[in-house]
Amino acid sequence: MALRMHLDSKLPQVGTTIFTVMSQLAAEHGAVNLGQGFPDFPVPSRLVDALSHAMQAGHNQYAPMTGIPALRQAIAAKTERCYGWRPDADAEITVTSGATEAIFNAIHAVVRAGEEVIVLDPCYDCYEPAIDLAGARAVHVPLDPASFAPDWDAVRAAITPRTRLLIINSPHNPSGAMFTAADMQALQDLLHGTDILLLSDEVYEHIVFDGARHESVLRYPQLRARAFVISSFGKTYHCTGWKLGYCIAPPALSAEFRKVHQYNVFCSFNPAQHAFAEMIAAEPEHYETLGAFYQAKRDRFRAQLASTRLKPLPVPGGYFQLVDYSAVSDLPDVEFARWLTLEHGVTGIPLSPFYAAPPAGQRLLRLCFAKNDDTMNLAMQRLSKL
């Protein structure tokens, strides 16, 4: 007999993520998938070889909960090389099963029921469900709808005695906007004298363009003293399916973070940890030239878009291009994304799922250019017919 029960969902507003929905739609209709943010070109050969060697050497059982020592030391050295400060590999670095796990761990480590977490819209869709599961409330503060710059006065106005955490993301997904040094100073001034903690999502840290500098929280002592800083190996090394990332946080925050991590996944994919430890030490030029690698793809894509009715917005960082499609259609973005997939064979991601309250009349679509030239050429053949 079927068991009848009433089940109150803990996430009643959450359905299947828009990334899964659009990728499935692309697969069903043979569309070029520029939606979900994954590269379709090879992982660096050294990394693949190192992974194979690690498995053959027997590194196939549980890794240490915090990550293997060699990888944590490599991350510490890389952090010093990039940002001029070396974290304690034992007390301040934790290897995780991707950035999403790290974000979940950080929120659940410090946020309690009834507290508030400020997020800047549009924001990545994993933030609010983790906040909801903690019994807390997401407070949405919109970024500028044109430039996606933060309004620090609006953030200040959103702070209440219940504010526990502020989440920032630079380079920003979905827009590619980046915090400036002035933003970091404003953020530092905003949080000074408060007990508010900071979660900095920096998974696109090495994908920055036009000579700009990534303003990591790790560069700013007053900010890093209250922050969880999240990074992603998948984004940096073209292997999103390996699901490996890490969190850098002060010892007291790391201790609480690890309490959640150990009962969430306990540890992360062991062979890949050995592979990344080798890769980081042997080929620092990979992450140091990643911006130039993607800038060439960005510039090529933007030049191709000039022949279409899609208007590209500026892209300071990350591997997504926002396009204004208002010259093509007045459909709302979710409907337009579906229409573009079904009728023209190209899939993008609408922006409205990144908002609590999307701007009225916004007609923007996110397209991923972390693809090989053949993929982008096929997409452009189709987009040029709009």
* pLDDT exceeds cutoff 60 at 1: no
pLDDT confidence of residue 165:
98
Condensed to tens digits (0 to 9), the pLDDT of residues 158-196 reads 999 999 999 999 999 999 999 999 999 999 999 999 999
Of 135, 141, 155, 205, residue with least CA distance to 176: 205
pLDDT confidence of residue 6:
79
139 Cβ contact partners less than 8 Å away, ≥ 6 residues apart: 116, 117, 118, 119, 158, 163
Q: Classify residue 314 by its DSSP letter.
A: P
HSE (side-chain half, CA atoms, 13 Å) at 136? 26
At residue 8 the predicted structure's pLDDT band, cuts being 50, 70 and 90, is confident
pLDDT confidence of residue 5:
79
At residue 2 the predicted structure's pLDDT band, cuts being 50, 70 and 90, is low
Mean pLDDT of 54-64: 98
Q: Which residue ranges make up each domain of the chain?
A: 18-43+288-383, 45-282
CATH number of 45-282: 3.40.640.10
* pLDDT exceeds cutoff 90 at 60: yes
Percentage above 90 pLDDT, the chain: 95
Mean pLDDT of 27-43: 94
Strands 346-347 and 32-33: what pairing?
parallel
Condensed to tens digits (0 to 9), the pLDDT of residues 271-296 reads 999 999 999 999 999 999 999 999 99
Condensed to tens digits (0 to 9), the pLDDT of residues 210-269 reads 999 999 999 999 999 999 999 999 999 999 999 999 999 999 999 999 999 999 999 999
pLDDT confidence of residue 14:
84
pLDDT confidence of residue 175:
97
* pLDDT exceeds cutoff 60 at 48: yes
Mean pLDDT of 24-47: 95
HSE (side-chain half, CA atoms, 13 Å) at 35? 26
Mean pLDDT of 88-104: 98
* pLDDT exceeds cutoff 80 at 41: yes
Whether the model pTM is above 0.75: yes
CATH architecture entry for 18-43+288-383: Alpha-Beta Complex (3.90)
Condensed to tens digits (0 to 9), the pLDDT of residues 127-150 reads 999 999 999 999 999 999 999 999
Q: Do the beta carbons of residue 297 and residue 367 sit within 8 Å?
A: no
Mean pLDDT of 320-336: 97
Q: How many CB atoms lie within 10 A of CB 153?
A: 10
Q: How far apart are CA 161 and CA 194, in angstroms?
A: 10
pLDDT confidence of residue 220:
98
